[in-house]
């Protein structure tokens, strides 16, 4: 039994020297926190409980679903979208780090929503992206974004030089690379960098609704703003995907924006994922 490493919450406890990062993971009320546990077929699972940190006496049981992956394994999963407040989740012996949900626009505008999924279930054996033929995207909101000062440009070209030293352009293809900065001024826990590196192996990765891909074999590069504090700022080289399959993109955006609802009349409601995409009823 283990929690999928693509689950956008930290359940691991690390013993390290130095002061822990003060950053508290933040989500918006519209974000959907997908939690997955993979078990052997004969294993059973304890209750999932969402505890309020705002009021220590408040808690609620989380409704989860099950699906058999094969004759040896099954998955338990739940999509959590709690109201505004501070929380942690307990599943058996696993306890998540504290996270908060806020609708403060000033705070959320400094964050980026990263959504990610694979093209099928054959790429990994530690998570499931298609359950009963339905594709799922994970939501991971992080502090940070793209700085204009971190843009770079490149070109692939084929040229011919005439006998008069004139250059004739035979072929050219330009590209723009950007560095994504993950972390506020005081930094974030190191697992955020580990998570970003893992996310970028996925087939479909969107930053506020725009698809990006890791540039070559680059990985998140950490800097430590305060010595002795286990808090870091990460930069990652990315390139925006331009030539996209319109059918796949339309399907992905539909999945990322749809709000799950038990009410059949509300199944066509969507959520905003960036400033250019409005809420649709």
Residue boundaries of the structural domains of the chain:
2-10+17-266
pLDDT per residue over 133-178, tens digit each? 999 999 999 999 999 898 888 888 888 888 888 888 888 888 889 9
What is the H or E stretch that residue 174 is in? strand 167-182
* Separation between Cα atoms, residue 127 and residue 120, nearest integer Å: 11
Return the pLDDT at 270.
66
- DSSP class of 266: G
Longest dimension (CA), the chain: 84
Percent of the chain surpassing pLDDT 70: 91
Asked if residue 209 lies in contact with residue 273, where contact means CB atoms within 8 angstroms, the answer is: yes
Please determine, for residue 12, whether its predicted confidence score (pLDDT) is greater than 70: yes
- Return phi, psi of residue 280, to 5°: -120, 135
* Separation between Cα atoms, residue 225 and residue 231, nearest integer Å: 7
Asked if residue 141 lies in contact with residue 28, where contact means CB atoms within 8 angstroms, the answer is: yes
Paired with 210 in beta bridges are 207
Average pLDDT, the chain: 88
């Amino acid at each position: 039994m283990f929690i999928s490493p693509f689950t956008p919450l930290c359940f691991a406890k690390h013993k390290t020297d130095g002061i822990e990062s003060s950053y508290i993971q933040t989500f918006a009320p519209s974000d959907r926190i997908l939690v997955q546990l993979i078990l052997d077929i004969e294993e059973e699972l304890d209750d999932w409980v969402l505890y309020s940190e705002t009021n220590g006496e408040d808690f609620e049981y989380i409704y989860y679903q099950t699906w058999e992956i094969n004759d040896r394994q099954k998955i338990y999963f739940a999509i959590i979208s709690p109201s505004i407040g501070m929380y942690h989740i307990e599943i058996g012996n696993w306890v998540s780090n504290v996270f908060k949900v806020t609708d403060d626009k000033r705070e959320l505008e400094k964050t980026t929503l990263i959504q990610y999924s694979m093209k099928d279930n054959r790429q990994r054996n530690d998570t499931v992206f298609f359950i009963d033929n339905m594709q799922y995207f994970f939501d991971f909101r992080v502090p940070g974004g793209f700085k204009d000062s971190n843009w770079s440009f490149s070109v692939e070209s084929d040229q011919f030089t005439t006998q008069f030293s004139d250059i004739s352009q035979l072929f050219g293809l330009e590209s723009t690379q950007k560095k994504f900065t993950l972390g506020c001024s005081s930094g974030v826990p190191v697992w955020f960098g580990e998570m970003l590196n893992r996310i970028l192996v996925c087939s479909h990765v969107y930053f506020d609704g725009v698809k990006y891909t890791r540039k070559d074999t680059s990985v998140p590069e950490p800097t430590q703003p305060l010595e002795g504090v286990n808090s870091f700022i990460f930069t990652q080289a990315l390139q925006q995907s331009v030539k996209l399959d319109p059918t796949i993109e339309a399907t992905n955006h539909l999945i990322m924006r749809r709000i799950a609802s038990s009410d059949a009349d509300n199944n066509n409601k969507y959520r905003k994922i960036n400033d250019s995409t409005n809420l649709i009823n």
